[in-house]
Amino acid sequence: PEASPHPPMVELSRYACKRRTSTENHNEIFTDAFEVLAESYEFSQCDSQCLAFRRAASVLKSVPCPLQHVGAAASLPCLGGHTRAVMQEILQYGQSCEVEKILCNDRYQMLKLFTSVFGVGPKTAEKWYRGGLRTLKDALEDPSIELNSMQKAGFLHHKDISQSVSRAEAMALGDILHETALGISAHAVLVLTGGFRRGKAFGHDVDFLLSTPEKGKEEILLLSLVDSLRRQGILLYCDHHTSTFDINNMPGVSFEAMDHFAKSFLILRLYDSQVEGGLQRVEGQDDGRSWRAVRVDVVTPPMERYAFALLGWTGSRQFERDLRRFARKENRMLLDNHGLWDNTKKEFLEAESEEDIFAHLGLEYIEPQLRNA
């Protein structure tokens, strides 16, 4: 039989949680453009346009080959007129004029810069921009701005934490935290989650789940861990959120809402000698330091909530969003980082593993490495 010039594409679902998406993106020229547009819409609080571009990017990430013409996108879900027009422009001229305009836009550049500081969200960034601030120095020196402690730490370590974290660095931090946790309790369980669990080579932070089979001891374990890191001299910053988890209040409906488990947002000091192959070199920085600062999140769910927390913290965000949407729309169930509520049976469904949760939802299991939607 004759080889077809366009191999038939596997039909892709409109739900990210039914698509397999590796870390290999063959359509970066389009998805990078879509991410810029999504971010720009986010800065303008145009949530539905933002989501539309995030969905379109997510779909293209799961296409196993570079798309050569817009016609090839015809059978793909979540690609509307606007997204196709951007693709067409990129295919024809190598870039999208709308995207180029955004990238040169003063407000976009400033919001991007301000939100790159740990502790500064789009709302604060917008306020600073409206107040006439144009550089990070402006924000630091403006007498009318009172920085909170997270933002102070964000400014102090900005150079380091705006530099991505390598896989080797994430592994080294895992070893340090693991050893520290086991020094506190022989029962401590620590796993890497977030982007690194999905096989990403780089991340903006390192995410961990910490737990213990000793009921009710999770948060104490976390507090002891942080304390031990402080005594080791490697704790640069800690923002601890105490547990507000209540079995009677789960699960919540909103995706963006943070879960209720005890957690700490940390900045840790990582030494060159602790990392195989050494630290990522910070561009243009040679101040003789033998360490860098890294953002680390540690979340401590109780053991019986572990599978839900693991699934929720592994991401990607788009994968999570669609897991919840799929549960709600297709199963009349509510899923979040704490549990799964079956609205037909009026009961919580238990799970010991991520596989159990996929099975409850009637979904084929997708391994972490294929959740990069």
Q: Which of residues 334-363 bind ligand DCP (CB under 6 A)?
A: 337
Residue 82: both structure tokens together = 């606007």
Q: Looking at beta carbons, which residue is closest to ligand DCP?
A: 315
| The binder of ligand DCP chosen from 178, 204, 241, 360 (CB under 6 A) | 204
Of 142, 227, 272, 297, catalytic? 297
| The binder of ligand DCP chosen from 119, 154, 195, 368 (CB under 6 A) | 195
Nearest to 337 by CA among 234, 230, 236, 209: 209
Q: Which residues contact 196 (CB under 8 A, 6 or more apart)?
A: 167, 170, 203, 206, 207
In the DSSP assignment, the letter for residue 194 is: H
x/- site string to ligand DCP, residues 234 to 263, per CB under 6 A? Answer: ------------------------x-----
Pairing of strands 333-335, 291-300: unpaired
> Which residues here bind Mg ion, judged by CB under 5 A?
194-195, 203, 205, 207
Q: How far is the CB of 207 from ligand DCP (least distance, A)?
A: 5
Q: How many residues make up the chain in this entry?
A: 373
| The binder of ligand DCP chosen from 160, 205, 218, 322 (CB under 6 A) | 205
What's the CA gap between 107 and 44, in Å, rounded? 10
| Peptide bond before residue 316 is cis, with ω within 30 degrees of 0 | yes
Of 160, 205, 259, 322, catalytic? 205
Which residue lies nearer to ligand DCP by CB, 53 or 129? 53
Which residue lies nearer to ligand DCP by CB, 313 or 341? 313
Vertex 123: Cα angle to 118 and 127 (nearest 5): 105
Report CA-CA distances (Å) from 354 to 59, 128, 168, 311, 313: 23, 42, 26, 6, 12
Of 160, 207, 259, 336, catalytic? 207
For tokens 């789940």, name the residue.
Answer: 209
Tell me the window of 57-65, 228-236, 312-320, 326-334 that interacts with ligand DCP (CB under 6 A): 312-320
What's the CA gap between 285 and 268, in Å, rounded? 19
205 is catalytic: yes
Tell me the window of 98-106, 149-157, 311-319, 355-363 that interacts with ligand DCP (CB under 6 A): 311-319
What's the CA gap between 354 and 191, in Å, rounded? 14
SS3 236: strand
Q: How far is the CB of 173 from Mg ion (least distance, A)?
A: 12
322 is catalytic: no
Which residue lies nearer to ligand DCP by CB, 188 or 209? 209
Q: Which residues contact 48 (CB under 8 A, 6 or more apart)?
A: none
**Residues in the site for ligand DCP, rule: CB under 6 A?**
194-195, 200, 203-205, 207, 258, 312-313, 315-317, 320, 337
